[in-house]
Chains A and B, each alone.
Chain A
Amino acid sequence: MADAGITLTADTDVAAASDLPGSLRARARRLLIVPLLILVTFGGLGLLADVAAPYPPNQIALRARMLPPFWQEGGRLAHPLGTDRLGRDITSRIIHGARVSIAAGLAAVAVGGVIGTLLGLISGYFGRWIDTLIMRATDAMLSLPIILIALLFAVVFGPSFRNLILVLGLVMWARFARLVRGEVLTWKEREFVALARVAGCSPFRILQRHIFPNIVNPLVVLATLQVGWVIIVEASLSFLGAGIPPPTPSWGAMIADGRSHITTAWWLSFFPGVALVLVVLSINLLGDWLRDFLDPRTRNLT
């Protein structure tokens, strides 16, 4: 499951949304407003969680325990999505959970993206032994069972937000390195790069000024799709008790809490999961669309 994403990224899926006929494509583009709205909403709620959430996420109210959502018998409008076994408001916890999920996604992709891009640039431009070394390391990283490695780290260092980001960033750089290296290989043989070299540009300047700007687009596409993947992995690890430690509200841990009450209180697991699916689905849709829009090679396929 979450150990995926390697093969589902930019390069394999060239023929995705881009080869729909014109009318469907136009309709698909107009539909993009929905995922964008969802992302803006969750992002905004997450940012302003302290103001936007009706209750503090960890406020315990034993009198209001296990309330169902408002439309079911016994539910109250004051707790629209119900409460958990400690009387904590599900709505408020989902809103605070949005902050954690999105922050984890962005931070891990930033860590992995920066390291991976640098290594990919070096590997692709300088070639030789350093290329072999970096690519062997990349292969090793890509065949690691990520969830299990993250469990290992959680046991050794204890679960924490920082450790989670480090582990995810550490396994993710390989995907960026591989993409960037491939791109550098195609660009560095171009004439403008050769001219820059003749003009006396240093390798650093060539990479920064002449090659990197051409790589930004596929990089943005990969990064977007990876954010969705990281959010799922983070939730899976929190579900297993190896992600973000309680009482910080995280969607994965909320779903885990609800698992033991599945026969009596379905809403405990259901709503955090809906939030998770909505966000990840929106990110994936956005990523697919960005690929069509930003990556001229796939755009030309139509």
Chain B
Amino acid sequence: MQRYIAGRLIQCLVTLLVISLLVFALARLTGNPLDVMMPVDASAELQEEMSRELGLDQPVYVQYGRFVQQLLHADLGTSIRTRKPVAELIGQRLPNTLKLVSFSVAMALLLAFPLGVIAATRKGGLWDVGARTVALFGQSVPTFWAGIVLISIFAVNLDLLPAGRKEGIESYVLPAVTLGLFGFMLAGVVRLLRGSMLDVLDSEYVKFARIKGLAETAVTWKHAFRNALIPVVTFVGFYFGILMAGSVVVETVFAWPGIGRLAFEAVQWRDYPVIQGVVLLVSTIILAANLVVDILYAYIDPRIRYG
């Protein structure tokens, strides 16, 4: 067990190392940071002094070492545009993104659980076709367009719901519906749950529960559903992080003050340190979510530990 966790932990660290190298290499390619920071007519001595102060006269591997060291101290650098520490900018916005993504996941699961289960129990029927159609649309409609259409229907024409900006609980409805229903989460869970329910419903212990004379609802929800959930939980854990990245688009549509919107604004200003910070943070969250799910499974299912 400990060996398994240690192995997975090392794997995550290696991945983080690869990502930090990528980000660092790309940062070098944006050009000399001095060009951005110094006035055009700065003297050669001044440039040299600044370069020494920032450590730019050191070999590249030393610079990378410093970069990693700063990361380990949660120092993500300074925004070129606002001159504020990136960690602070992200810290202010992160809760908004986390809340939005959590709402979206809840929304998606609330719909996907009944749909996936009913689709499997009435395989081939109208419900099944309906569930698969929902999944197909969830997979084929881009979030940003869905968001705009929803705004134009519910905010502009019907004037029922606010078109974003975080004010009160009802401002969550449209962005969360957009991200949850069209962010692949709903589609993925419906398909996965349907498939895994079909497998489980065909198993011996479900047949046995039926022979015992249990009502079909009890068999479906108490015996089959719980076991069918196992692959779904992995998927949801994995997708939580992916949705955080996907929320860039939804936050832009709804002017949502989260880290995605922060990244979008940074693109407009070519504010590299900010995007770099968001990329590193979201990657870390994705990896951490995967790791937690994997470790939980190793506890639940010994086959994974020794497999």
- Verify A1–B270 contact, CB threshold 8 A: no
Interface assignment of A258: CB less than 8 Å from any CB of chain B: yes
B64: chain A residues at CB < 8 Å are none
- Verify A143–B140 contact, CB threshold 8 A: no
**Chain A residue with Cβ nearest B192:** A12
- Verify B184–A241 contact, CB threshold 8 A: no
Stretch of B92-100, B213-221, B239-247 with 4 or more beta carbons under 8 angstroms from chain A: B239-247
Interface size on B, residues (CB 8 A): 72
Task: Tell me which of A1, A140, A157, A235 contacts B243 (CB under 8 A).
Answer: A1
Q: A148-B263, A236-B144, A255-B145 are in contact. Are A2 and B195 (CB under 8 A)?
A: no
Interface assignment of B137: CB less than 8 Å from any CB of chain A: yes
Interface assignment of A164: CB less than 8 Å from any CB of chain B: no
Minimum Cβ distance to chain B for residue A184 (Å): 20
**Chain B residue with Cβ nearest A281:** B140
**Chain A residue with Cβ nearest B189:** A7
B238: chain A residues at CB < 8 Å are 7
A103: chain B residues at CB < 8 Å are none
Stretch of B40-48, B83-91, B278-286, B297-305 with 4 or more beta carbons under 8 angstroms from chain A: B278-286
A21: chain B residues at CB < 8 Å are 124
B268: chain A residues at CB < 8 Å are 241
Interface assignment of B23: CB less than 8 Å from any CB of chain A: yes
Task: Tell me which of B18, B148, B263, B279 contacts A273 (CB under 8 A).
Answer: B148
**Chain A to chain B: the 10 pairs with minimum beta-carbon distance, closest first:** A145-B245, A4-B184, A273-B145, A1-B246, A1-B183, A1-B143, A281-B140, A140-B15, A15-B195, A280-B140
- Verify B192–A144 contact, CB threshold 8 A: no
- Verify B275–A152 contact, CB threshold 8 A: yes
**Chain A residue with Cβ nearest B247:** A1
Interface assignment of B71: CB less than 8 Å from any CB of chain A: no
**How long is the Cα–Cα vector from A281 to B282 in the complex, in angstroms?**
29
Minimum Cβ distance to chain A for residue B30 (Å): 5
Interface assignment of A139: CB less than 8 Å from any CB of chain B: yes
Chain A residues touching B, majority SS: helix
**How long is the Cα–Cα vector from A277 to B252 in the complex, in angstroms?**
20
Interface assignment of A239: CB less than 8 Å from any CB of chain B: yes
Q: Mark B125-161, 1 if CB is under 8 A from A, else 0.
A: 0001100100011011111110011011000100000
- Verify A19–B198 contact, CB threshold 8 A: yes
**Chain B residue with Cβ nearest A279:** B140
A107: chain B residues at CB < 8 Å are none
Interface assignment of A69: CB less than 8 Å from any CB of chain B: no
Interface assignment of B37: CB less than 8 Å from any CB of chain A: no
**Chain B residue with Cβ nearest A13:** B191
**How long is the Cα–Cα vector from A301 to B179 in the complex, in angstroms?**
33
Interface assignment of B29: CB less than 8 Å from any CB of chain A: yes
- Verify B244–A17 contact, CB threshold 8 A: no
- Verify B142–A15 contact, CB threshold 8 A: no
Minimum Cβ distance to chain A for residue B286 (Å): 5
- Verify A16–B132 contact, CB threshold 8 A: yes
Interface assignment of A266: CB less than 8 Å from any CB of chain B: yes
Residues A156-173 near B (CB distance < 8 A):
156-157
**How long is the Cα–Cα vector from A266 to B246 in the complex, in angstroms?**
24
Residues B238-279 near A (CB distance < 8 A):
238-239, 241-246, 248-250, 252-253, 263-264, 266-268, 270-272, 275-276, 278-279
**Chain B residue with Cβ nearest A153:** B26
- Verify A156–B29 contact, CB threshold 8 A: yes
- Verify B275–A277 contact, CB threshold 8 A: no
**How long is the Cα–Cα vector from A148 to B239 in the complex, in angstroms?**
15
